Amino acid sequence: MTRDGGATWNNVTPPAMKPWTRIFNIEAGHDPLVAYAAANTLRLDEIHPHFYRTRDAGKSWTEINTGIADDAVSNTIREDPRQPGLLYAGTDTQVWVSFDDGDHWQSLRNNMPAISVRDLQIKDDAKCQCADLIAGTHGRGFWILDDVTPLRQATALKAALAKSEPYLFKPTTAVRVRFAGNDPTPWPPELPAGESAPPGALIDYYLPADAKGEVKLEVLDVAGKVVRTYSSNERALDPDPGKNMDAYDAVCRKTPTAADCGLPLYWPAPQFIVSPKAGMHRFSWDLKFDPVAPDDLIPAGDKDATGAVPGHTYPNYNVPWVPPATYTVRLTVDGVAKIQPITVRLDPRVKITPIALQQLTTLSSSLYWDAVAAHRAFNAATQLAKDLDAKVSPEAQALKAELESLAPRGVQRNVRAIRRRGNANEKLSLEAVSNALQAAAMAMQAGEVAPTAAQVAAATAAQAQAKPVMARWAAAQAKAKTLK
């Protein structure tokens, strides 16, 4: 060790270290007196791990191997750049993690093959806007553990579990990236290719026990308005085609019209579900608003859908992206709510002026919320008309006729027509104006660019068209209140 830039050196080798031991790396700790060393004894024909820690600048060392399998040599040790005492280590078989400065270790191998992990790096900077652990291996390429922020919050999780409370991890920054695909169809599965992280914002939570009822994940904007909702009550495919293709193939053979059966079963990604079961769970928010209607899902096998990726094709909803901003994630379990902030940023490669971005987000968002209001009105008008079926008074029947003109029975939502910017021949019902508003919003969602004059004109026309129809609905609601 040197304290004068290399003019003089002191030997701080741990006394227990044998000659011909190879020091693969020395990691400087957050504290200037702390350092860690990975000592490889392969040249001594000693196939055991040896990791060392000093807290007094090398005057004394402690070997810190407790919990690491005694069947492989040490290659690397790194300290998390954000969380002191959070250590990662690599041996000739796998990756390990310690939450207590090396006193105890546990496996972090997960789905990695048994392979020599030669070095580790925590990629966590403003350029990547990520927090990933990268493993460089001997013969099996690079492996990336996406988003280690839950590992950094292990102490807070432990405190929550001591009180038997659910824990919602604070998410890392989410980057709104338009992932490229292979249009119109993906590469075949046998072609070697790298993998990307799951799209959207990764949200992690831990349940100390099975929930008794619904588990809900919500995203709220700065005004407290819910922009996205997920629930454990939502239907999930079982078996999951993204995890067990053969089992789901049997489902498709029995029911050819089942979900995802119209496309190659090597396309779908494993589902993200809000689980009510005890344990650790990871979910992905797609950084979009709630669907205006359940029918707004664009199936991966749809003839107009593009960008499928083998094993990583996720559901795509025909709704706008949320604007870059700070949001709140809310986890509700058995009536207990936990919240954490989350920041959504644009892809750093995107260049758009603040004024243009403001115009794009304001116009898209206002059209979206108007479309939501019109669709909800359509559902309410439909139900109100059904409720009037049994009423025979002239006033009730006149109101029923008005409601049925606003919400014609048998109308079905056509997502493909919305994507094609609406249907000019559609009658002015509440659902028609909702479709037109949504089509105008989606016309501006192809890229981060200022809306064109034609798009602004279309948005203005859709809002003007919706105004009298929504006024008729308000009047019908007022009449309904006067009926006995």
Both ends of the chain: CA-CA distance in Å? 91
Residue 369 has pLDDT above 60, yes or no: yes
Tell me what pLDDT residue 199 has.
84
- How do 132-137 and 336-346 pair as beta strands? unpaired
Residue 376 has pLDDT above 70, yes or no: yes
The CATH superfamily of 1-148 is YVTN repeat-like/Quinoprotein amine dehydrogenase (2.130.10.10)
Taking alpha carbons only, the member of 360, 329, 363, 325 closest to residue 346 is 325
For the segment(s) 153-236+271-347, the CATH number from 3.20.20.370, 3.40.50.620, 3.40.1390.30, 2.60.40.1930 is: 2.60.40.1930
Residue 1 has pLDDT above 50, yes or no: yes
Residue 324 has pLDDT above 70, yes or no: yes
Instruction: Name the percent of the chain lying above pLDDT 70.
Output: 93
Q: Categorize the per-residue pLDDT at 300 as very low, low, confident or very high, splitting at 50, 70 and 90.
A: low
The answer for residues whose C-beta is within 8 angstroms of residue 366's C-beta and 6 or more apart is 463
Instruction: Name the percent of the chain lying above pLDDT 90.
Output: 74
What are the residue boundaries of the structural domains of the chain, listed by start?
A: 1-148, 153-236+271-347, 354-482
**Distance, C-alpha 147 to centroid of its chain:** 11
Q: Of 137-141, 215-219, 326-330, 378-382, which range is least confident?
A: 137-141
Tell me what pLDDT residue 425 has.
47
Contact 15, 53 (CB under 8 A): no
Residue 301 has pLDDT above 60, yes or no: no
3-state secondary structure of 317: strand
The answer for residues whose C-beta is within 8 angstroms of residue 333's C-beta and 6 or more apart is 166, 207, 211, 215, 276
Contact 13, 37 (CB under 8 A): no
Give 277-281's long-range contacts (Cβ < 8 A, gap of 24+).
Answer: 277/207, 277/210, 277/211, 278/207, 278/208, 278/209, 278/210, 279/206, 279/207, 280/150, 280/204, 280/205, 280/206, 281/204, 281/205, 281/206, 281/207
For 331-366, what is each residue's pLDDT tens digit? 999 999 999 999 999 988 889 999 999 999 999 999
Residue 129 has pLDDT above 90, yes or no: no
* Residue 314 to residue 284: CA distance in whole angstroms: 10
For 75-124, what is each residue's pLDDT tens digit? 999 999 999 999 999 999 999 999 999 999 999 999 999 999 999 999 99
Burial of 389 (0-12, 13-18, 19+ CB in 10 A): exposed
Report residue 403 as tokens: 């409601």
Tell me what pLDDT residue 188 has.
80
Taking alpha carbons only, the member of 265, 281, 264 closest to residue 273 is 281
Report residue 329 as tokens: 């994630």
- Integer CA distances (angstroms), 458 to 360, 367, 429, 451, in order: 14, 11, 18, 11
For 242-266, what is each residue's pLDDT tens digit? 999 999 999 999 999 888 888 888 8
Please give the residue that has the higher pLDDT: either 180 or 112: 112
Tell me what pLDDT residue 34 has.
97
Residue that is written with structure tokens 């079961």 in the block: 277
For 35-72, what is each residue's pLDDT tens digit? 999 999 999 999 999 999 999 999 999 999 999 999 99
Q: Which residues pair with 26 in a beta bridge?
A: 37
Q: Which residues pair with 342 in a beta bridge?
A: 327
Q: Categorize the per-residue pLDDT at 413 as very low, low, confident or very high, splitting at 50, 70 and 90.
A: low
335 Rama class: left (phi>0) / alpha (psi -120 to 50) / beta = left
Tell me what pLDDT residue 315 has.
83
Q: Reading across the β-sheet that carries 336-346, which strands appear in turn?
A: 174-176, 336-346, 325-333, 215-220, 226-231
Helix (H), strand (E) at residue 371: helix 354-387
Tell me what pLDDT residue 197 has.
83
Helix (H), strand (E) at residue 87: strand 87-91
> Mean pLDDT across the chain, nearest whole number?
91
Q: Categorize the per-residue pLDDT at 447 as very low, low, confident or very high, splitting at 50, 70 and 90.
A: confident
Residue 473 has pLDDT above 80, yes or no: yes
The dihedral sign for the CA sequence 387, 391, 392, 397: negative
In the chain, what's the furthest Cα-to-Cα distance? 103
Mean pLDDT across 432-455? 92
Report residue 220 as tokens: 């709220």
> Is it true that 1-148 and 153-236+271-347 share their CATH fold?
no
Taking alpha carbons only, the member of 241, 269, 266, 242 closest to residue 255 is 241
Residue 419 has pLDDT above 70, yes or no: no
Tell me what pLDDT residue 193 has.
78
Taking alpha carbons only, the member of 457, 431, 455, 461 closest to residue 443 is 455
Burial of 154 (0-12, 13-18, 19+ CB in 10 A): middle
Tell me what pLDDT residue 262 has.
84
Length of the chain equals 484
Mean pLDDT across 388-408? 89
Give the side-chain half-sphere CA count within 13 A for 300. 25
- Integer CA distances (angstroms), 221 to 289, 324, 374, in order: 11, 11, 21
Contact 266, 309 (CB under 8 A): no
The answer for residues whose C-beta is within 8 angstroms of residue 392's C-beta and 6 or more apart is none
- Peptide bond before residue 184 is cis, with ω within 30 degrees of 0: yes
Tell me what pLDDT residue 299 has.
62
Residue 191 has pLDDT above 90, yes or no: no
* Residue 228 to residue 220: CA distance in whole angstroms: 7
The answer for residues whose C-beta is within 8 angstroms of residue 359's C-beta and 6 or more apart is 450, 451
* One-letter amino acid of 306: T
